[in-house]
Amino acid sequence: MIISVASGKGGTGKTTIAVNLALALAKDKEKNVQFLDCDVEEPNAHLFLKPVITSSESVEIPVPKIDDEKCNYCGKCAEVCVFNAIAVTKNKVLVFPGLCHGCGACTLFCPEKAITEQGKEIGILEEGKAGSINFTHGRLNIGEPMAPPIIRKIKKKAKKDGIKGENNDITSHHITLIDAPPGTSCPVIESIKDSDFTILVTEPTPFGLHDLVLAVEVLRKLKIPHGVVLNKCDIGDHKVEEYCKKNNIPILLSIPLDKEIAVAYSKGIPIVKINSSYEQKFNQLFQKIIQKI
Amino acid sequence: MKEIVIISGKGGTGKTVITASIAALVKNKVMGDCDVDASNLYLLLHPEIKEKHDFYAGLIPSINLGKCTNCGRCQEVCRFDAIKTIKGQTVIDLISCEGCGLCALICPVQAIQMKENLCGEWYISETKYGPLVHARLGIAEENSGKLVTLVRQNAQVVAKNNNFELIIIDGPPGIGCPLIATLSGANLAVVVTEPTLSGIHDLERVVKVAQHFGVKTVVIINKFDINLENSAKIEDWCKETNISVIGKIHFDNIITEALVKGLPVVEYSDSTVTKEIKDIWQKINQLTN
């Protein structure tokens, strides 16, 4: 089963929840826990899980390469490219790789067969082990705009490992946890789609509430069951709780603001390592999720 | 015209709280909110919307079932796995679709049409602190970078119309498309970080992006007293990288209190935090003049 952890607002504790849930579940030797950090713009989970990376591969997108010998500057490639990634002048073809989505329209429609595609690296993907947890994350290269192709590649790893148990059995011991990027746009959708459940992490402030409402709209659109983890639950006001109650969204876990947790976080130490009572709380969180699916 | 963008790499470090306070401190400027998928600045500035515009970007396909022969050619060429056959009928998964239009071009019977996609709204508003240009990206929509560009362009128009020389932008988290659209061509990037390992990791990445695009960068350490050792590490790293740390802000619950009241913290209290933010603005002002 796939459980993703998301939030509209950044910095509410997505990585904290995903990491601690992974560590709590992995204590059970019967369980096979996989962790995918899909926040490829700013991946942080490795700072807490400290995986030993065993393999690394480049993530490329195909971008067009023009054969000057064959090209007659007819302009068909620029015409079919909706992303404006190709411009054709009288005697030159300009390719803007940062705009290219790698759809292949130019290659397919070039009447002179003058276009081939060449891989262009936009980031890397790394895999390894954090204790018994199978860990994968990606990293968008500096200056590259497009995160979704890297996220797609990370998620393919999940599929290959067969995350759903036999007969789609949700109580199966294969659990894939996805740490999603913040927001509500394409990188988030790419990360959470196909999840069996999404945990939305928020905080009880007007910003937290506002962005939670947006995230809930995303999950409704994607038809993914979801629940809320309320982090720093004793700061701010009670409007998140009121909203959840009114909309029938379960609050699965509330974590108070705790100086000890905050300091440990700042050093890259997960909650379950400093306060063992949280191991049980995260296991209960998992049990609640199982019941909701 | 000077354009100052406030960014962070990591989300939740305090970008919007600081931007709103600067909005309250500075006169004769236009504010812009470029965090278009989770825009929060308006929650502190309480804008009155003066103009509302639809944001169309990209194209979405639709299949004319009467014409479609379910030949499967579109499914064959789509690289985004956005076309499937369900019970013998070709269907498009708009969530996976990137809008490239290849399916419509390849369809032998012209059964697929590409239509303009309404994917958000943008606004020009008035606030008690001056004009604000902001936007809302539709749920699960793409093209956030284009919407960011639209917000910046219109902030410039509003500034010109008012004879203002200054634009202050609240940026998005991350280092991808919306951040690049926010950053490129700006006069100064102010990066708000926090003394946590995640904060440091993300600071380093976002600073590299700013340098990649040739934007002058300065750093603010928010909640610096949560981990003094890490704050010192950030200062050391900034020194090595030739970037100034223009201010440090204490951790104080007053920030959350002000947030709950819907006020910029500098308007809510005269605490240390307020003084620290005022000093930061003085530094930014010196740097841009």
CATH number at residue A141: 3.40.50.300
Asked if residue A118 belongs to a domain, the reply is: no
Q: Identify the bridge partners of residue B85 per DSSP, sorted by sequence position.
A: B90
A190 shares a domain with A74:
no
Whether A140 and A217 share a structural domain: yes
Does residue B90 sit in the same domain as residue B190?
no
Question: Are A73 and A176 found together in one domain?
Answer: no
Q: Are residues A38 and A82 in the same domain?
A: no
| Domain assignment of residue B51, yes or no | no
Q: Is residue B82 located within the same domain as residue B155?
A: no
| A176 and A82 assigned to the same domain | no
Region A19-35: what's the mean pLDDT? 95
Mean pLDDT of A275-286: 96
**pLDDT for residue A159:** 56
CB A207 within 8 A of CB A33: no
Q: CB contact, 8 Å: A210 with chain B?
A: yes
Average pLDDT, chain B: 96
Q: What is the pLDDT at residue A160?
A: 44
Phi, psi of B205 (to 5 degrees): -70, -45
Distance from the Cα of B262 to chain A's closest Cα (Å) equals 8
Question: How does DSSP classify residue B90?
Answer: E
How far apart are the C-alpha atoms of B253 and B46, rounded to whole Å?
22
Query: What does the DSSP assignment read for B13-25?
Result: SSHHHHHHHHHHH
Size of interface A-B (CB pairs under 8 A): 181
Considering the domain architecture, whether residues A104 and A46 belong to the same structural domain is answered as no
- Sign (positive/negative) of CA torsion A192, A198, A204, A210? positive
Position A31 in a domain: yes
In a domain, A107, yes or no: yes
Is residue A169 scored above 80 in pLDDT?
no
**Cβ separation A140–B260 shorter than 8 A:** no
- End position of a domain, from candidates B95, B118, B141: B118
Mean pLDDT of B202-215: 97
Alpha-carbon distance of A86 to B198, in angstroms, equals 38
Among candidate residues A18, A220, A279, A103, the one with its CA nearest the CA of residue B98: A103
Residue B103 located in a structural domain: yes
Nearest to B185 by CA among B205, B147, B213: B213
Provide CB contacts within 8 A for A241, sequence distance 6+: A204, A230, A251
Pair A170, A217 in one domain: yes
Do residues B94 and B217 both lie within one domain? Answer: no
**Residue A47 in domain:** yes
Q: What is the pLDDT of residues A182-238, one digit of tens each?
A: 999 899 999 999 999 999 999 999 999 999 999 999 999 999 999 999 999 999 999
Regarding whether B40 and B103 lie in a shared domain, the answer is no
- The reply to whether A93 and A198 lie within a common domain is no
Q: How many domains does the structure of chain A reveal?
A: 2
Between positions 137 and 176 of B, the ones with CB within 8 A of A are 137, 139-142, 144-145, 172-176
Task: Quickly tell me which residue has 């962070």 as its tokens.
Answer: B8
Question: Is A128 within the bounds of a domain?
Answer: yes
B67/B134 same-domain check: no
Dist. CA A187–CA A219, nearest whole Å: 14
Residue B53 lies inside a defined structural domain of this protein: no
Domain harbouring B86, CATH code: 3.30.70.20
Give the rounded distance of the alpha carbon of A47 from its chain centre.
Answer: 16
Residues B102 and B204 in one domain: no
**What domain count does chain B have?**
2
Q: Is residue A232 part of a domain?
A: yes
Same domain, B265 and B174: yes
Whether the CB of B226 is below 8 Å from some CB of chain A: the reply is yes
Query: Are B260 and B162 within one domain?
Result: yes
Task: Examine the domain organization and report whether B106 and B189 are in the same domain.
Answer: no
Q: Are residues A84 and A145 in the same domain?
A: no
Instruction: Tell me the mean pLDDT in the region A122-138.
Output: 97
Q: Judge whether A283 lies within some domain.
A: yes
pLDDT digits (tens, 9 = 90+) for B2-54: 999 999 999 999 999 999 999 999 999 999 999 998 999 999 999 999 999 99
Chain B nearest C-alpha distance from A239 (Å) = 10
CATH number at residue B213: 3.40.50.300
Q: Are residues B252 and B190 in the same domain?
A: yes
Q: What share of chain B has pLDDT > 90, as a percent?
A: 94
More confident residue, A168 or B74: B74
- Put simply, the answer to whether B16 touches A268 (Cβ < 8 Å) is no
Q: What is the pLDDT of residue A172?
A: 57
Q: If DSSP states are collapsed to H, E and C, what string results for A60-103? A: EEEEEEECCCCCCCCCHHHHHCCCCCEEECCCCEEECCCCCCCC
Which has the minimum average pLDDT: A85-89, A232-236, B141-145?
B141-145
- Chain B residue numbers with beta carbons less than 8 Å from the beta carbon of A142 are 175, 205, 208-209, 212
Question: Is beta strand B83-86 parallel, antiparallel or unpaired with respect to B89-92?
Answer: antiparallel
Indicate whether B86 and B209 sit together in one domain: no
Are both B103 and B137 inside the same structural domain?
A: no
Spatial distance between the Cα atoms of B254 and A91, rounded to a whole number of angstroms: 63
Amino acid (1-letter code) at residue B181: A
What does DSSP assign to residue B223?
A: T
Cβ atoms < 10 Å from Cβ of B69: 11
- pLDDT given for residue A161 in this prediction: 45
Q: What is the pLDDT of residue B142?
A: 79
How crowded is the C-beta side of B265, counted as CA atoms within 13 Å? Answer: 24
Question: Which structural domain, as residue segments, surrounds residue B105?
Answer: 58-118
| CA distances (Å), origin A160, targets A31, A134, B80, B231 | 18, 13, 18, 42
Residue B52 domain-assigned? no
Residue B3, φ and ψ in degrees, nearest 5: -120, 120
**B243 DSSP 8-state letter:** -
Say yes or no: A144 and A168 in one domain: yes
**A262 contact B CB<8A:** yes
Q: Across the interface, do A12 and B40 touch by the CB < 8 Å criterion?
A: no
Say if residue A38 is exposed, middle or buried (CB neighbours under 10 Å; 0-12, 13-18, 19+): buried
Shared-domain flag, residues A183 and A278: yes
How far is B129 from B115, CA to CA, in rounded Å? 39
DSSP string, chain A: -EEEEE-SSTTSSHHHHHHHHHHHHHTSTT-EEEEEE---SS--HHHHH--EEEEEEEEEEEEEEE-TTT-----HHHHH-TT--EEE-SS-EEE-TTT-----HHHHH-TT--EEEEEEEEEEEEEEEETTEEEEEEEEPTT----HHHHHHHHHHHHHT--S-GGG-TTSSEEEEEEPPSSSSHHHHHHHTT-SEEEEEE-SSHHHHHHHHHHHHHHHHHT--EEEEEETTTSS-SHHHHHHHHTT--EEEEE---HHHHHHHHTT--HHHH-THHHHHHHHHHHHHHHH-
Does residue B123 form part of some domain? no
Nearest by Cα to B279 from B218, B207, B211: B218
The arithmetic mean of pLDDT across residues A36-48, rounded, is: 98
How close A193 comes to chain B (CA, Å)?
Answer: 9
**Cα separation, A198 vs A6, whole angstroms:** 7
Do you know the residue count of chain A? 293
**Mind telling me how many Å the CA of A30 is from chain B's nearest CA?**
31
Q: Which amino acid is at A84?
A: N
Q: Single out the residue in A82, A113, A144 at which a domain terminates.
A: A113
Question: How confident is the model at residue A170, as a pLDDT?
Answer: 47
Q: What secondary structure letter does DSSP report for B253? A: T
Q: Does A14 share its domain with A72?
A: no
* A240 and A230 Cβ atoms separated by less than 8 Å: yes
Of B140, B197, B256, the CB nearest to A205: B256
The domain in which residue A211 lies consists of 2-59+123-292
